[in-house]
Amino acid sequence: MKIHRRSLALMAIAVLSSAAAAPALAQAPSILVASTTSTQDSGLFGHLLPLFKAATGIEVKVVALGTGQALDVGRRGDADVVFVHARSEEEKFQAEGFGVRRHPVMYNDFVLIGPKSDPAGVQGSTDIAAALRAIKDRKLPFVSRGDRSGTHVAELRLWKDAGVDIAADKGDWYKAIGQGMGAALNTAAAANAYLLADRGTWLAFRNKADLAIVVQGDKRLFNQYGVMLVNPARHPTVKKEAGQRFIDWLVSPQGQRAIADYKVGGEPLFFPNAGDPNA
Amino acid sequence: MPDNASALQLVLSGDPALFSIVLLAMIVSLSAVLLAALIGVPLGALIALTSFRGRDGAIVLLNTLMGLPPVVIGLLVYLALSRSGPLGAWGLLFTPQAMVIAQTILVAPIIAALSRQTIEDLWLEYRDELTAMNVPWPGRVGTLIWDARFSLITALLAGFGRAAAEVGAVIIVGGNIEGHTRTMTTAIALETSKGDLPLAIGLGIVLMAIVLMVNALAWVVRRAAERVAG
């Protein structure tokens, strides 16, 4: 009995220490970046991070969440860098003293996805506000992220642009699922619903079913990404040197070229614009 | 993991990314089950053999804790381990250790509740004998745990099954970081969100196969040990 218990304890210690040793073996400096599902699901990080590691030796660990959640991880001091896409939320984060300085990095655009049969009759339009009004007027199924993500924030802004008070006007046709971009696309694919998506995730998404892009090209669909170091004055555990090197690399000519080089099916997913002071 | 690969191809080709995911998932879940056993079995035995005020309440509570939602445990462990939380100085959030902690909390009540039932049933059978022989307390507990060991394996397997299958806790406290805290279940969730449903299903089948192997191994060990113990 004694031996039994002791061997059990020894096994536990052995297994635990091996679990502990696994990350310790990789002695390379590492930073934690809280980012969005769109940058991960589109495969951008899979392309960028090996290049950054080759250039600097720094390992980047990415936790992919919605923009609202990613910023909350930064607020709690659990990330070194936040890399998200909702300018109003980012500026709030900075104003609260959690972010050091916001750097624009790249953009892509949102697209309105819908069933190929297009019951709203908006296919080919470049007026997102008119398209949303048509969906609302006919009460056609619409899937919303509903998760305070960058895409959700943009969707709410577009409803406002369309003159629709979505909080008051939503009905059974408006499904807020509270999940990531991929889950929203899966739901829309199953329900033949309309939804707003970022182009990168849409292009990389593999379960398109009967969905297609119905509205694109409206300048209100612009989708800017920004990066910030979490304020070390607020959270002393932030790895400021390594985190700042990641930010510097993203906005450097080398990093910007790496972003431009990332393509899926020959199409670029993100467009670097670190030099744009208004972005 | 490479694009356009089925899970079967990944397994057959010995894909290193898949291998590290499987390895991490097993290390985390097995560590959690062992730690939970060290807590749960003695706790179950204690409740089985003692009578105290509120014992019925304690048993109902323990049985209820078996149904703790993983996502709630994940959230509580997240808040505790966060840099802004009480244990933030440990710096354990988004590490495999955080995943072990969360799964230990998930599994310990299951092992404790099932051990309590098993040992109590055996106690009813042994009580007169052990009392008559005037066996001291530690000896009683030891004898009961030892004689119940084959049934307790089932309790451990139930705990392992729960740990290996859950995604809610590990995805919150681990963060699903590629090459660091990505396990089978969080990889399945990720591939589903990328719309790669065939790969997600394939990974699910791989996970089931591994759990099946662990259970088969436990069964073989049990059979062999029973023959020896005769």
Q: Which CATH number fits domain A28-107+224-272: 3.40.50.2000, 3.40.190.10, 1.10.1200.10, 3.40.50.620?
A: 3.40.190.10
Half-sphere exposure of B5 (CA within 13 A, CB side): 15
Confirm whether A28-107+224-272 and A108-221 share one CATH topology. Answer: yes
- Which position has the token pair 């106690």? B123
- Please give the radius of gyration of chain A, using alpha carbons only, rounded to the nearest integer: 21
DSSP state of B89: G
pLDDT of residue A14: 52
Q: What is the pLDDT of residues A140-178, one digit of tens each?
A: 999 999 999 999 999 999 999 999 999 999 999 999 999
Instruction: Tell me how far CA of residue B86 lies from CA of B34, B63, B81, in angstroms.
Output: 26, 28, 7
Residue of A241, A237, A228, A242 lying closest to A58 (CA atoms): A242
CA-based nearest residue in chain B for residue A69: B172
Asked whether residue A118 carries a pLDDT value surpassing 90, the answer given is yes
Work out the average pLDDT over A186-195: 96
Whether A77 sits inside 8 A of B27 (CB atoms) is no
Q: What is the pLDDT of residues A54-65, one digit of tens each?
A: 999 999 999 999
Domain ranges of chain A: 28-107+224-272, 108-221
Distance between CA atoms of B108 and B33, rounded to whole angstroms? 8
Q: What is the pLDDT of residues A9-32, one digit of tens each?
A: 555 555 555 555 454 444 579 999
Query: Which residues in chain B come in under a pLDDT of 70?
Result: 1-8, 11-12, 230
Residue of A137, A144, A125, A142 lying closest to A163 (CA atoms): A137
The superfamily CATH assigns to domain A108-221 is Periplasmic binding protein-like II (3.40.190.10)
Contacting A residues, span 144-173, partner chain B, CB-CB under 8 Å: none
Count of C-beta atoms within a 10 Å radius of residue B125: 11
b (16+ CB within 10 A) / e for B43-57: bbbbbbbeeeeeeee
Element (H, E) at B217: helix B197-229
Distance between CA atoms of B230 and B228, rounded to whole angstroms? 5
pLDDT of residue B230: 60
User: Which of A23, A77, A205 is facing B96, going by the closest CB pair?
Assistant: A23
User: DSSP for B105-116?
Assistant: HHHHHHHHHHHH
Average pLDDT across chain A, whole number: 91
The answer to whether A30 and A63 have CB atoms below 8 angstroms apart is no
Q: Which CATH number fits domain B7-229: 1.10.3720.10, 3.30.360.10, 3.10.20.30, 3.30.930.10?
A: 1.10.3720.10
- Nearest-neighbour CA in chain B from A278: distance (Å): 32
Chain B interface residues (partner A, CB cutoff 8 A) = 24, 27-28, 30-31, 34-35, 37-38, 82-85, 88, 91, 93-97, 100, 142-143, 145-146, 149, 175-178, 180, 190, 192-197
b (16+ CB within 10 A) / e for A208-228: eeebebbbbebeebebbbbbb
Domain ranges of chain B: 7-229
> What is the CA angle A143-A144-A147, rounded to 5?
145
